[in-house]
């Protein structure tokens, strides 16, 4: 059994109950000195003491389980890498901070984000550009993205309600649209019309338009049945769970009214995905098909991206699927979606890694790409990537092309059909990637677009290196 050191969490529990060490030691039947050693991580929690603690405080034993701090450590590393001066903080020190004092670590990350946002706003004002956001506040869509990121892309309250509604309506896979049309009419007096819900000339066409006065919802004719079902389920979420959406959209990440409204839309979209792809039925199908995205898309009559997004939400307690990270990027490297149920961390500065296979997907449109990727901390992930396209007009109309990626820790890769025939245990099969050039710890990478932040460059006019930005003290290959 692995030793459990949980001094900071135990000390916080004790202080929240206004107990002294002597009081708690008496309740646990141990000496005050022994408790003091536990709280300072000089002694691990023994099983008998752990059981008595759970009785005294009424918490589950899992409360003291070692948390996965990979994501928090990555965020701390990014914070420290952007600090131009000061002592170098070692990985062991970051690990200790994230493990022993996670609240302090998260506060440090939050303060750094506010500092960076304020600096960006100041730079915009100095350049004479309009700074539409409040200084120190990220844009609304960034706040919403962080809101879902912190929840690890799982909203149990909505997920369960959506599944209950789908089960009650007995919606067969791939036929949710007709079921939703009937439910909206029967319970809410809302009539569905298939047509062109507005948008002409320079105006952006709308997928869905709901008129509360006439109680008519109009859907764009170009939408496929699965897409129409998604729009109907989104409207259903607003009609049946409006107060819950407002209650959920109160995260500390949402600091503006616009962000709150966007979060409500995001939560309604989450409900829609959970209705069309009910948790238990979808997870069961995913396990049976070994997470074959295209087979799941055919079975539920939805798109490749929709399946990827839903797979990244299968984190219901005691009924989890493979924990995935999900990302969507464009050709320029802009990341429009990013969600993670794993320790994989998406960089907030310096872009992402060009060696990541999500970018290779653009070279072979429609073809699934696989990659074993190893991060600088030694953790390995298995990634699946493919392009998805959208074109709502005729010949010559501007379309959209993205690449979507779905990744999990390598230890789960054997459960995916995409790992068939691959030697997952061969370390030579892994591609070394990083979080982003500015925070990447691989000084010899020839694909660097930026020098690593916080590191002095090696400037020598008498040598030339493979890496465009060699650092002092690093390899010069």
**254 in a structural domain:** yes
Indicate whether 238 and 168 sit together in one domain: yes
Indicate whether 324 and 401 sit together in one domain: yes
8 Å CB contact between 217 and 193? yes
Phi/psi zone of residue 136: left (φ > 0), alpha (ψ -120 to 50 degrees), beta? left
In angstroms, how far is the first alpha carbon of the chain from the final one? 43
**292 in a structural domain:** no
**308 in a structural domain:** no
Least confident interval from 69-73, 158-162, 337-341: 69-73
Confidence of residue 281 (pLDDT cuts 50, 70, 90): very high
Taking 80 as the threshold, does the pLDDT of residue 360 lie above it? yes
Indicate whether 142 and 271 sit together in one domain: yes
More confident residue, 460 or 3: 460
Taking 50 as the threshold, does the pLDDT of residue 250 lie above it? yes
Q: What is the pLDDT of residues 450-474, one digit of tens each?
A: 777 666 777 777 777 777 777 776 5
Token code pair at residue 31: 């000496």
Where among 119, 137, 155 does a domain terminate? 137
What is the arithmetic mean of pLDDT over 303-328? 92
Residue with the two structure tokens 């970018």:
359
Confidence of residue 258 (pLDDT cuts 50, 70, 90): very high
8 Å CB contact between 321 and 314? yes
8 Å CB contact between 275 and 175? no
Q: Supply the DSSP symbol for 44.
A: P
Indicate whether 117 and 160 sit together in one domain: no
More confident residue, 133 or 44: 44
Specify the pLDDT at position 353. 85
Indicate whether 413 and 469 sit together in one domain: no
What is the arithmetic mean of pLDDT over 20-46? 88
**221 in a structural domain:** yes
More confident residue, 221 or 123: 221
Indicate whether 424 and 350 sit together in one domain: yes
Taking 70 as the threshold, does the pLDDT of residue 8 lie above it? yes
Indicate whether 336 and 367 sit together in one domain: yes
Token code pair at residue 413: 């890769």
8 Å CB contact between 136 and 121? yes
Q: How many Å apart are CA 233 and CA 227, to the nearest integer?
A: 10
8 Å CB contact between 47 and 55? no
Over its C-alpha atoms, the chain yields an Rg (Å, rounded) of 25
Question: Which residues, at least 6 apart from 201, have a Cβ–Cβ distance to it below 8 Å?
Answer: none
Range of the domain at 54: 7-64
With residue 408 as reference, give the H or E element that holds it: strand 400-409
**19 in a structural domain:** yes
Where among 137, 169, 194 does a domain terminate? 137
Least confident interval from 256-265, 312-321, 390-399, 430-439: 390-399
Indicate whether 341 and 252 sit together in one domain: no
In the chain, how many domains are there? 5
Where among 223, 248, 276 does a domain terminate? 276
Q: What is the pLDDT of residues 398-430, one digit of tens each?
A: 778 999 999 999 989 999 999 999 999 998 899
Specify the pLDDT at position 129. 53
Q: How many Å apart are CA 53 and CA 295, to the nearest integer?
A: 48
More confident residue, 439 or 348: 439
Specify the pLDDT at position 200. 44
Instruction: Taking each helix axis as running N to C, give the angle between helix 293-300 and helix 279-288, from 0 to 180 degrees, rounded to the nearest 10.
Output: 140
Q: What is the pLDDT of residues 287-305, one digit of tens each?
A: 999 999 999 999 999 999 9
Q: Is the pTM higher than 0.95? A: no
Q: What is the pLDDT of residues 124-168, one digit of tens each?
A: 566 555 544 444 557 788 888 888 877 878 999 999 999 999 999
Indicate whether 114 and 208 sit together in one domain: no
Instruction: Supply the mean pLDDT for the chain.
Output: 83
Confidence of residue 240 (pLDDT cuts 50, 70, 90): very high
Per DSSP, the residues of 429-454 read GEEE--S-TTT---TT-TT-SSPPTT
Specify the pLDDT at position 68. 59
Indicate whether 38 and 125 sit together in one domain: no
């Amino acid at each position: 059994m692995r030793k459990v050191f949980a001094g900071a969490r135990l000390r916080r529990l004790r202080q929240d109950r206004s107990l002294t060490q002597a009081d708690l030691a008496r309740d646990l039947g141990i000496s005050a000195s022994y408790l003091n050693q536990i709280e300072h991580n000089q002694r691990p929690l023994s099983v008998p003491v752990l059981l008595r603690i759970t009785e005294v405080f009424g918490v589950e034993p899992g409360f003291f389980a070692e948390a996965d701090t990979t994501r928090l450590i990555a965020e701390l590393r990014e914070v420290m890498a952007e600090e131009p001066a000061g002592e170098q903080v070692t990985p062991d020190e970051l690990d200790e901070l994230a493990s022993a004092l996670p609240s302090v670590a998260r506060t440090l990350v939050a303060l750094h984000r506010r500092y960076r946002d304020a600096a960006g706003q100041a730079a915009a004002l100095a350049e004479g550009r309009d700074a539409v956001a409040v200084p120190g506040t990220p844009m609304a869509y960034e706040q919403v993205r962080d809101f879902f990121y912190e929840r690890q892309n799982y909203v149990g309250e909505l997920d369960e309600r959506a599944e209950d509604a789908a089960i009650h309506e007995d919606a067969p896979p791939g036929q949710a649209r007709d079921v939703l049309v009937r439910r909206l009419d029967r319970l809410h007096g809302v009539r569905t019309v298939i047509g062109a819900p507005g948008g002409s000339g320079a105006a952006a066409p709308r997928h869905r338009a709901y008129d509360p006065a006439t109680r008519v919802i109009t859907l764009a004719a170009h939408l496929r049945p699965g897409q129409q079902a998604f729009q109907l389920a989104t409207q259903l979420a607003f009609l049946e769970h409006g107060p819950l959406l407002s209650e959920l959209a109160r995260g500390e990440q949402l600091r503006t009214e616009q962000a709150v409204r966007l979060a409500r839309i995001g939560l309604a979209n989450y409900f829609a995905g959970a209705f069309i792809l009910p948790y238990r039925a979808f997870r069961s199908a995913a396990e049976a098909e070994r997470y074959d995205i295209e087979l799941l898309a055919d079975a539920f009559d939805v798109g490749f991206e929709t399946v990827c997004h839903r797979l990244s939400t299968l984190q219901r307690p005691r009924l989890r699927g493979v924990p995935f990270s999900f990302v969507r990027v464009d050709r320029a490297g802009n990341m429009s979606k990013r969600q993670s149920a794993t320790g994989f961390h998406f960089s907030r500065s310096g872009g992402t890694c060009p060696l990541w296979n999500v970018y290779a997907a653009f070279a072979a449109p429609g073809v699934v790409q696989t990659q074993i990727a190893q991060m600088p901390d030694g953790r390995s992930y298995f990634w699946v990537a493919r392009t998805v396209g959208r074109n709502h007009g005729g010949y010559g109309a501007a379309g959209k092309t993205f690449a979507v990626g779905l990744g999990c820790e390598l230890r789960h890769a054997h459960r995916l059909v995409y790992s068939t025939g691959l030697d997952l245990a061969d370390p030579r099969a892994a591609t070394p990637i990083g979080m982003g050039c500015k925070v990447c710890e691989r000084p010899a990478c020839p694909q660097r677009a930026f020098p690593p932040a916080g590191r002095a460059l090696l400037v020598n006019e008498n040598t030339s290196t493979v890496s465009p930005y060699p650092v002092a003290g690093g390899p010069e290959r």
